[in-house]
Structure 1
Amino acid sequence: MQNLQALIQGRISPQTIDPDQLIALAKQYTQPNSAEYKLLELALNMILASYLEQAQKQL
């Protein structure tokens, strides 16, 4: 979770987040109203947007 907080705060780039860690966190935090779930959701959106941007640059 600390890595996700650092990502949201702009201290690390989306590419530094391990996808396996994201999967493990998604399995662990399944309550949509929890702060952890919302943090994970926001971080995932940022990571996906970053990868989409990279893909668009390749086209």
Structure 2
Amino acid sequence: MKIQELQALINGEIQPEHICIDKLVALARQHTLTNTPEYKLLENAVDIVLIYYLKQAQAYL
């Protein structure tokens, strides 16, 4: 997964269900410095993906 994919997700060009969570976790492990633009981008992307799946789960309850 590349940073460009995360930017596309944030811009709405890629749907959250098309993001591989395992790759997202692997990317998060590489970017541990919290004050970098990449970390903030990653944080926003994780939020979007988590919200998507939480809404999916909520629909089943």
TM-score by length of 1: 0.94
- Structure 1: 5+ residue stretches without partners: none
> After the TM superposition, which residues 1-59 of structure 1 pair with which residues of structure 2 at under 5 Å, given as runs?
1-59=3-61
- Identity, in percent, stands at 54
4+ residue runs over 3 A deviation: none
Letter in 2 for 1:41: E
Aligned residues: 59
Q: Quote the RMSD (CA, aligned, Å).
A: 0.7
Cα distance in 2 between the residues matched to 1:32 and 1:8: 18
TM-score by length of 2: 0.91
- Structure 2: 5+ residue stretches without partners: none
Shift of 1:3: 1.1
Per-residue CA shift, 1:21-57, capped at 9, x if unaligned? 1111111100000000000000000100000101111
Shift of 1:58: 0.8
Letter in 2 for 1:23: V
